[in-house]
Structure 1
């Protein structure tokens, strides 16, 4: 079974582009902390390349920024290509199928605590369609 779930912070802003047939694809790097050692020393994070497609790609490009906290659920994929000098290069990345935005609203994320206090909304009866 090829399944991975990661929680981390974006190392830089996501980069979105479109394939020749118009499919959105967004790439980003997720900094994922390793557990502390037995001595309590924090280790360096792992820098995980992620790629997401279609509507998920558009949402990530629109709502995530450098430093945003995110949960990525997907699978690990390895692919190869030939570089400009003709050398074969390999890339390992996580293909994200689900991405959950975990940063609070004040950090540029649309999703905040669902039961946090909200200012009252004044709606005139004439504004209602029914």
Structure 2
């Protein structure tokens, strides 16, 4: 079984590309604090490279940016390639299958969309007998 679940913060803005077949690909890195502090009393962090495809890539690139907290679930994938200098480079990525918010817009400092207003709700008259919860 190859399953991973992570919660962390994006270290940079999401890089989005489209394949020749029209499939969205999003690449980003997530910083995750380790459980214990080091000798200086600070938490060290791991920086995990992630890649998402299709709808998940579109979701991540639309709603997340550097510094936002994100929850992801997926699988670890390893690979290798030869760089332009002829050296073999090994890679490890999390292929993101699910992504979700783990904090509110206000907590993340993202205030681009207005918060819901009380007036966004449809008014209901008192004594309406057609409501299922009366």
With normalisation by structure 2, the TM-score equals 0.78
- Paired residue secondary structure (2:57): helix
| Structure (1 or 2) with the larger CA radius of gyration | 2
Which structure is higher in strand share?
A: 2
Where structure 1 has 5 or more consecutive residues not aligned to the other structure, the ranges are: 111-115, 124-130
Report the secondary structure of 1:59's partner residue: helix
* Cα distance between partner residues in 2 of 1:65 and 1:38: 28
Q: Which residue number in structure 2 is paired with residue 52 of structure 1?
A: 52
Q: Give the alignment's Cα RMSD to 1 decimal.
A: 2.5
Kindly state the Cα deviation for residue 45 of structure 1 after the two structures are TM-superposed. Answer: 0.5
1:68 Cα deviation after fit? 0.4
Aligned length: 118
Normalising by the residue count of structure 1, what TM-score does the alignment of the two structures yield?
0.80
- Tell me: CA distance 1:109–1:71, structure 2 relative to 1, closer, same or farther (3 Å): farther
- Contact kept, 8 Å, 2:34 with 2:44, in 1: the verdict is yes
Q: List alignment gaps of at least 5 residues for structure 2.
A: 123-134
Q: Does 1:77 align with 2:77?
A: yes
